[in-house]
Chains A and B, each alone.
Chain A
Amino acid sequence: MNKVRRKFVIFAEITVFVLLTVLMSVINIINFTMVSEDADLITQKITDQSIERYTHSPDYPKKEEKEEDQEEKTTATAAGIPDRPFGGDMGLMGPMGPDSPEMNSSLRYFTIAFDKDGNATTLSYNISALSETEAQELAKSLIGQGKTGWTCWTYRYRVKKHDGIKYVTVIDQGRELLPCFRLLYISAAGGLVLILLSFIILRFVGKWLFKPLEEADRKQKQFIRSIENDFRMPLTVINANTELLERKNGASEETGTIDRQVRRMTKLVKNLSSLSIYEEKDLNIVRLNLSDLMLSSLDRKKKRFEEKSIELITDIEPDIFIEADEEAIKSAVGELIANSLKFAEGKAEFSLKKNGGRIVLTQKNPVSLQNGSADQVFDRFVRLDNAKDKDGAGIGLSQVKDIIKLSSGRVGARIASGEFILRIDL
C-alpha cells in the first residue's frame, strides 16, 4: 500500500507540474503573441500611411518628370514626415488600441524608404534611442534578413515593397513588452511556489488519504494471517481426532466426510498463507537460478502433462539468475504450472528468455475463450469462464502477481487467437 500511495503522490505531483507549466506557458505565449500582433497592426498602418504620403511627395523618385506638380506636392509635405499617421477613428480597441489618437505621442517609431539603388530616405522619425543614421543602418540590416516582418531586440519591424521601393517601419515595443516580461517572471515564480506547495500538500494529503486504505490493507493481511495461523492447529487436531474416532469405532461415512473437508480446508489455508505472507520485510532475497527452477519444476510435472495429454513445449534459456525470495518464486512457478495443467487444452508452452535488460517468462496454452485482455485473472477470487467446472478459489494467479510485484516485476495476461498468454517481466 505504501508503494501505491507513493505512486499516487508522484502521479499527482507530475500532473500538477505539467498542468501549471502548460497553463503558464499558454498564458504567456498568448500575451506575447497579442503584443506582437498589436505591433504588426501598428507597423502595417504606419507603413501604409507612409507609402501613401511618400508616393505623393516631391521626393518620390518616380515623380521627377512631372515638374508641374512638384511645387504643389512639396508644399503639402515639406518635411516628408507624417504628423499624424493615425486618423480620428479609434477602432475596435478604443483608447488602448493602435487607432487611438494618443498612439502618435506615445509611439516610438521610424520609417525608412530604400530605392532601387539602396539610397535611404527617412519618411518618419520619432525615436530617441537611435540617431537617424543609426535608424537607417538598422533598417538596411533588417532588409538583409529577408523577412517581411519580425522582432529585433525590443523592436518590431515590417518590410514592404511598393513600386520598386522598400519601406521599413520599425516600432519600439519596449514599454509594451515590459509588462509581458513581468507577467512571465511573476507567473514563473508563482508557478514554482505553487508547485512546491502542492508537492508538500500532496505528501501530507496522500498520507492522510491513504491512511484508511493502508489500515484496511494491514487489517486484511492481519486477518488472513490470523486465519491461516489459527486454522492450522485446529485442522491438525481435527485430523488427529478423526483418526482416533476411526480407530475406536472404525471408519464411517461421517469420518470420511470430515477427512475430505479437512483436506480441502488445509489446501485453502496453505493457499491463503501466500496472500499475506509476502511483505517486503518477510522476504529472504537470494541469488536464484530461475532457469534451473523452471526446468526442475517442469521436469517434475512432465508425467502429469502426459497423463492429461497436454503437449509440453519448453524454451528455457540456461543460467538466467534473479535476486528474489526463493520460496516466493518457487511458489509462483508452481502456480503457473498448476494453472497450465488445469486449463491447457492440448498444449502448454513455457519460455524463459532474456530480452534486453529484462527477463521474460511466458506461459501459453490454447483456451476456448474470447480474445481480449485477461488481466482480471490476477484479481483475488476471480476466475475466467473456463474455470467454472474446475477446482480452485481463484487466488493462485493473484499470488503470482503479488510475488512478482514484490520482486519488482510485471505481469500481464491476454487471450489472442484462441490462446491464453501470460507474461511475466522481471
Chain B
Amino acid sequence: MKILIAVSDRDFLSSFSRLLTAAGYETDTAADGARMISKLAENRPDIVLLERSIPRIGSSQLLSMLDEKDIPSVELTDRRIVSGMLVEKFIANAYLSLPFLPYELPAVIEDVMEKKSSSEVIKTGEVEADVGKFLLCKKQKLCAGELDIIKTLSKGTEIGSERPGAYINSLNIKIERLNLHSRIKYITGEGYRLVKINE
C-alpha cells in the first residue's frame, strides 16, 4: 500500500515514514500542499495522510482534489475532532487528533482502506450508508467514525467509542440536511438509538 504523508514537520515525516515503512507500507512525503499536488501527479498513492494546517494550499482544497481523484485520506488535526469539521463540504475519510500513539496511525489507515474496499450498504430506518463510498443516502459525505456509529445503531448495540459526541452531532446535522424524519437520541437504559422525530 502506498501512503503519501503530507505534513509540514520534517521530523514527523521522517519518523512516520520510517515507522510505516517498517510496518510494510510504501511511503512518500510532502512538506506542503504544492508538493503534495505534484506528488499526486507523479505517483498515485492508495491513501493520503494530510495535515489539516498544511502550508501553501488549504486542506479543504486538497481534500476536494482527493475526492475528485477518489483517493481516501486521513486528516491529522491539532485540535479535538468537533462536529463542525465533519459537516464541511469536503471531509476526510478519517480524522486523527494530535498527539497520538504510533500504533493508532496504521490502525486508522487500515480501517479506512477496509471500508473503502467494502461493498456493504447499511440500512437502518430511513438512513442508508454506503460504506465503500462513504456516503449517506447517496448524497452526504461520511467519515469512518460516522460509519461506525451507523453500523452500531443498525445492530442496536451500545456505541463503544469514548466520545461519540462529535460524530453523533454531525450525523444528526447531515440527517437533517437530507430532510429525514429521524434523529440519533439517547434512550436511558438502551443508549443511543435512531428514532423517528416526535418519539
Contact = CB atoms under 8 A, between A and B. Distances in A.
A119 interface: no
B83 A273 contact: no
Given A240-B15, A244-B15, A295-B186, A284 B9 contact: no
B11 A237 contact: yes
Contact of B79 (A235, A273, A300): A273
Interface stretch (B97-105, B110-118, B142-150): B97-105
Nearest to A229: B78
A61 B164 CA distance: 105
B183 to A, nearest CB: 9
Contacts of B22: 244, 247
B21 to A, nearest CB: 11
B18 A244 contact: yes
B186 A232 contact: no
A239 B12 CA distance: 10
A384 interface: no
Given A229-B78, A327-B82, A237 B12 contact: yes
A244 B19 contact: yes
Contacts of B98: 232-233, 235-236
B101 A239 contact: yes
Question: Interface extent on A, as a size class?
Answer: 35 or more
Contacts, number: 82
A239 B185 contact: no
A302 to B, nearest CB: 11
B100 to A, nearest CB: 6
A241 interface: yes
A275 interface: no
A326 interface: yes
A242 B79 CA distance: 23
A299 interface: yes
Interface of B: 9, 11-12, 15-16, 18-19, 22, 78-80, 82-84, 98-103, 162-163, 165-166, 169, 185-186, 188, 191-192
23 contacts: A232-B78, A232-B99, A233-B9, A233-B78, A236-B12, A237-B11, A237-B12, A240-B16, A240-B19, A243-B19, A243-B103, A262-B99, A269-B99, A270-B80, A273-B79, A295-B186, A296-B186, A316-B188, A318-B188, A327-B82, A327-B165, A327-B166, A330-B163
